[in-house]
Amino acid sequence: MTLDSLRALAETSPAPLPRKQWLLLAAATVVCALSRIVTLARTPWDWDEFLFMLAVDHFDVAKHHPHPPGFPLFIFGAKIIHVLGVDNFHALQMMNVLASIAIVPVMFFLCRELRMQFSTSMFAALLLAFFPNVWFFGGTAFSDVPSMTLVMLAVALLLAGCRNPRAYVAGAVVLAIAGGFRTQNLLIGIVPLLLASTFQIRRGLGRVLIAAVVIVAIVGASYGIAASMTGWSSYAETIRLHSRFIMTTDSFRSPLRPPLWRVAEDFFIKPYQAPLINTIVTFFAAVSLAASIIKRRVHVLVAIGAFAPFCLFAWLMLDRLSASRFSIGYAPLIAILAADGVRLIMRSAIAEALVEAIVLIVMIAWAWPAFADLSHTTSPAAAAAGWIREHADPRTTTIHVDESMGPAAEWYLPEYRRDAAKPVYELREGRVRGAVVTFAHPRDRLWKIVRRRYFEVSVVKPSA
């Protein structure tokens, strides 16, 4: 990377888009929006979704409502929507849908700031939008997709902020908000922030200080309020225990974790189990990565610099069984590399467009069967809890709940008294012999995209 090429990237504006390209961007955004709307999950599915839903009503990190460190601005946004009359699940889901629709224009904006060509920028944006894990989680109540979209916007604004003071301050504000959604976003924003600050400090120290104060104030206030609502001592103890759990269970220090080379495969090559898609994306991304390192291609190296810290953190510290979800945080980098790799290999615009179209068609065709019926399918956890509500009077019925089903029961069955010794019914994950009823989702392609939990949930009536 030469200083001249970096300076050119930082101090010159992208060329204006002609009207035709604006229309194509708008059309791609509409297509993305329609794909999200028709594949929305009908009910919550997983552990963290229930914790987020419980947090909308009663925020308490010590009770893991939500889990540490609290995701305060994500919950705050859902609370605002909830006040308008939207139930907890759909309030959280609405934030995901809005963020999912914004993926295409925000990713395009980021690619433009990296000076990628129009066709490559469009392909990167659509590739990211239709990655199977990004597509699925964008219709749920998780925080990953809103967090990703926000931090992409922050990085794009900060790159524009190298030359534009207003964009610089806006980027600092958005980065701080993204940090209030998920703390990992600060790892992604640090390199673009330092780069933009290096150029802005030449115009005066004041604006850089303002940006620093804004970030500290918003992030500090967000987690300070989370600690205050939980209780300062309880919050600190919960963070300590959660950090210890991650270090001993999820991180590279865990004796149960596979070798780092194997974990790298989970996080960077096949976060979802789609061999053809995994191979295609990895091949083109590897071509771009190798060429950019050898030839010091500044625009790709800047993108790598932004997302590499979180890539390293995820690889070393996070639960590999949830790689499909955690990899969403750096999925923009994978999309950028893959789109750039296509452009490097293809010798003509027609060939490039053809390959891009084939890749998108293959990806959508593979993922669609997993999502086609989500909008009218009740998750096994929700169905099992609903069965208990329908068949058992909470005034006279005691239940026992498996630990893995705790948040779902806390949400759906709060009025039922718990009795582990003599329950009338037990709510258990998995297929259980002799169960009164078992609700199951087929182990189809969704099984290959998400963490493999809660596909079967049973209601058991213990023998006397």
pLDDT for the residue numbered 419: 87
Reading the block at residue 268, the tokens are: 């960077």
pLDDT for the residue numbered 1: 54
Are 172 and 215 in contact, with CB atoms under 8 Å apart? yes
Q: Is the dihedral of CA 362, 366, 369, 371 positive or negative?
A: negative
- Residue that is written with structure tokens 């979704």 in the block: 49
pLDDT for the residue numbered 2: 67
pLDDT for the residue numbered 389: 94
Cα separation, 271 vs 451, in Å, equals: 10
pLDDT for the residue numbered 420: 83
For 27, other C-beta atoms within 10 Å of its C-beta total: 11
In the chain, the N- to C-terminal Cα span, in Å, equals 73
Strands 417-418 and 437-440: unpaired
Q: For residue 345, count CB atoms less than 10 angstroms from its CB and return exposed for 0-12, middle for 13-18, buried for 19 or more.
A: middle
Reading the block at residue 309, the tokens are: 């810290």
CA distances from 299 to 37, 160, 305, 329 (A): 33, 13, 10, 19
**Domain boundaries of the chain, sorted by first residue:** 3-375, 378-460
Are 300 and 339 in contact, with CB atoms under 8 Å apart? no
| Tens of pLDDT, residues 32-87 | 999 999 999 999 999 999 999 999 999 999 999 999 999 999 999 999 999 999 99
Task: Single out the residue of 245, 341, 351 nearest to residue 290, CA to CA.
Answer: 341
Q: At what angle do helices 3-11 and 185-200 cross, to 10 degrees?
A: 90
Task: Single out the residue of 99, 242, 238, 62 nearest to residue 178, CA to CA.
Answer: 99
Are 170 and 19 in contact, with CB atoms under 8 Å apart? no
Cα separation, 200 vs 381, in Å, equals: 52
The low-confidence residues of the chain, meaning pLDDT below 50, are: 464
Q: Convert 331-383 into a string of H (helix), E (strand) and C (coil).
A: HHHHHHHHHHHHHHHCCCHHHHHHHHHHHHHHHHHHHHHHHCCHHHCCCHHHH
pLDDT for the residue numbered 5: 76
Hey, is 457 helix, strand or coil?
strand
